Chains A and B, each alone.
Chain A
Amino acid sequence: QKEVEQNSGPLSVPEGAIASLNCTYSDRGSQSFFWYRQYSGKSPELIMSIYSNGDKEDGRFTAQLNKASQYVSLLIRDSQPSDSATYLCAGYSASKIIFGSGTRLSIRP
Chain B
Amino acid sequence: DAGITQSPRYKITETGRQVTLMCHQTWSHSYMFWYRQDLGHGLRLIYYSAAADITDKGEVPDGYVVSRSKTENFPLTLESATRSQTSVYFCASQSGNEQFFGPGTRLTVL
Q: Give the interface of A toward B (CB within 8 A).
A: 32, 34, 42-46, 49, 88, 90, 92, 95-97, 99-102
Total number of B residues with any Cβ neighbor in A under 8 Å? 19
Cα distance A43–B58 in the bound complex, in angstroms: 20
Does B103 sit within 8 A of A, measured CB to CB?
yes
Q: Give the interface of B toward A (CB within 8 A).
A: 31, 40-43, 45, 48, 50, 58, 90, 94, 97-104
Cα distance A34–B50 in the bound complex, in angstroms: 20
- What's the dominant secondary structure at chain B's contact region? strand
Evaluate contact between B98 and A43: CB separation under 8 angstroms: no
Beyond known contacts A42-B103, A46-B99, A99-B42: 17 more, CB 8 A cutoff: A34-B98, A42-B104, A43-B90, A43-B101, A44-B43, A45-B101, A46-B98, A46-B100, A88-B43, A92-B97, A95-B50, A96-B45, A96-B58, A97-B99, A99-B43, A101-B42, A102-B42
Residues of B within 8 A of A32 (CB): 97
- What's the dominant secondary structure at chain A's contact region? strand
Cα distance A18–B45 in the bound complex, in angstroms: 32
A44-B90, A49-B98 known; A101-B48 Cβ under 8 A = no
A34-B98, A45-B101, A101-B42 known; A95-B31 Cβ under 8 A = yes
Residue of A nearest to B31 (CB): A95
Residue of A nearest to B41 (CB): A101
Residues of B within 8 A of A42 (CB): 103-104
Residue of B nearest to A99 (CB): B43
Cα distance A100–B40 in the bound complex, in angstroms: 11
Cα distance A49–B96 in the bound complex, in angstroms: 12
Cα distance A35–B103 in the bound complex, in angstroms: 18
Residues of A within 8 A of B43 (CB): 44, 88, 99
Residues of A within 8 A of B58 (CB): 96
Leading 6 A-B pairs by shortest Cβ distance: A101-B42, A43-B101, A99-B43, A92-B97, A43-B104, A32-B97
A43-B102, A43-B104, A102-B42 known; A97-B97 Cβ under 8 A = yes
Cα distance A49–B102 in the bound complex, in angstroms: 19
